[in-house]
Amino acid sequence: MAKAFSGIQPTGEIHLGNYIGALRNWKPESGSYYCVVDLHSMTMPWDPAEMLRNSRSTAAHLLALGLGEPSRVFLQSQVPEHAELSWILTCLGRMGELSRMTQYKSKGRGRQDVSVGLFAYPLLMAADILLYGVHEVPVGEDQKQHIELTRDLALRFNSRYGPVFTVPEPRISEVGARVLSLRNPQEKMSKSDPDPNSKILLTDGDDVIRKKIMTAVTDSGREVYYDPDEKPGISNLLEIAATLGGEAVEDLAARYRDKGYGAFKGAVADIVIGAVRPLRERVLELLASPTEIDEALERGRSHAHAEAGPMLDSVKRAIGLLVP
Ligand code: TYM
């Protein structure tokens, strides 16, 4: 498998959307890097104590998924090349292309009080990826546009200054690339949603998971079938259960078609509980052992820095900066 790079913000806790859309597809291959993007979470106001707690906890989730060896998990702020390359790309990126980013449009466009960082954020994300020369970036659907921008920047750089960057590809699964809120299946499941019942966390207990699924907003009618336009709530549960249970959406839908929503939701809850329980147990075990987390992060930092340093030097040479 090709080397991969991906990242996750340490804002709040990790939910089933993050897991199904992204983390599930992160593989512990040698040469792959998985980054807790703490600098990204400064694009919105933050609390310092919470930042540190959430960074460790997010790292614990990635380590619990087995991504610390031989692939590496590290904190973005501990590898200074990310911020440095980000500035260089800031001078290559264009106002027009950044203004078109839908994430910026939904959170910040037209508002005078949002940070410049919220606007420039995709350039830091491009720097994250391009420093490691990877082909593959496994992400959920909402990051696709940012990776297309990364590709455009890499191609622009290479044509102006010579072939330094690998042009990456997004890897997005067909099913589960956009997991929806359990309370409002028009919106994606999101860390920033204040309603705890809208999302299932990887640290939720069995009873909490069951309750959230049994009370998930579903659609009118009683039949279970897959139709994201007509039945967004049921289709969302079908995608969640199919990906976690390793079954095709159509097969699952066919088994529950005439059984009613109650029985179907009960089955979805069983599948989600069965998938989340072992992850939760490993995350909680690791959270109780901060030294283990910090040691793994230090190993990650040192490997990432060893790779990012020479890449940034190549960039500097190509654009006419003097490398010491
Ligand atoms: P973030 O922290 O918002 O989300 C982490 C990953 O989870 C995916 N995701 C979802 N997938 C399906 N359904 C959902 N409801 C859902 N919500 C989130 C995201 O697509 C993402 O893959 N900008 C990125 C972090 C980042 C990054 C990078 C990613 C920074 N640098 C370099 C890849 C490569 C972000 O804010 O993800």
Q: What pLDDT digit, counting tens, does each position of 227-238 carry?
A: 999 999 999 999
pLDDT of residue 226: 97
Q: Please say if the pLDDT value at position 2 is more than 90.
A: no
Ligand 1 proximity of 142 Cβ (cutoff 6 Å): yes
- Report if residue 146 sits inside a domain: yes
pLDDT 10s digits, 25-67: 999 999 999 999 999 999 999 999 999 999 999 999 999 999 9
| Residue 287, both tokens | 């959270």
- Report if residue 133 sits inside a domain: yes
pLDDT of residue 1: 64
Say yes or no: 56 and 135 in one domain. yes
Enclosing domain of residue 224: 196-284
pLDDT band for 103, please (50, 70, 90 cuts).
confident
User: Which positions are catalytic?
Assistant: 107, 188, 191
Q: Please say if the pLDDT value at position 261 is more than 80.
A: yes
- Report if residue 10 sits inside a domain: yes
pLDDT > 90 in the chain, percent? 93
Ligand 1 proximity of 137 Cβ (cutoff 6 Å): yes
- Report if residue 260 sits inside a domain: yes
Interval between CA 321 and ligand 1 midpoint (Å):
33
Ligand 1 proximity of 62 Cβ (cutoff 6 Å): no
**Shortest-distance atom of ligand 1 to CA 40:** 30
CA distance linking residue 4 with residue 70, whole number of Å: 12
CATH code (residue 163): 3.40.50.620
pLDDT of residue 108: 80
How far is CA 73 from each of CA 93, 128, 201, 203, 304, rounded to the nearest angstrom? Answer: 28, 13, 20, 20, 9
Say yes or no: 33 and 96 in one domain. yes
248-261 average pLDDT score: 96
Residue nearest to atom 29 of ligand 1 (CA): 7
- Report if residue 168 sits inside a domain: yes
Say yes or no: 9 and 149 in one domain. yes
Residue nearest to atom 37 of ligand 1 (CA): 8
pTM of the model: 0.96
How many other β-carbons are positioned within 10 Å of the β-carbon of residue 319? 15
CA distance linking residue 11 with residue 319, whole number of Å: 35
CA distance linking residue 239 with residue 248, whole number of Å: 9
pLDDT band for 12, please (50, 70, 90 cuts).
confident
The total number of structural domains in the chain stands at 2
- Report if residue 186 sits inside a domain: no
Residue nearest to atom 34 of ligand 1 (CA): 6
Residue that is written with structure tokens 């998930």 in the block: 216
Q: Please say if the pLDDT value at position 109 is more than 90.
A: no
Say yes or no: 158 and 41 in one domain. yes
Ligand 1 proximity of 130 Cβ (cutoff 6 Å): no
282-289 average pLDDT score: 95
268-283 average pLDDT score: 97
Say yes or no: 169 and 277 in one domain. no
CATH code (residue 228): 1.10.240.10
pLDDT band for 173, please (50, 70, 90 cuts).
very high
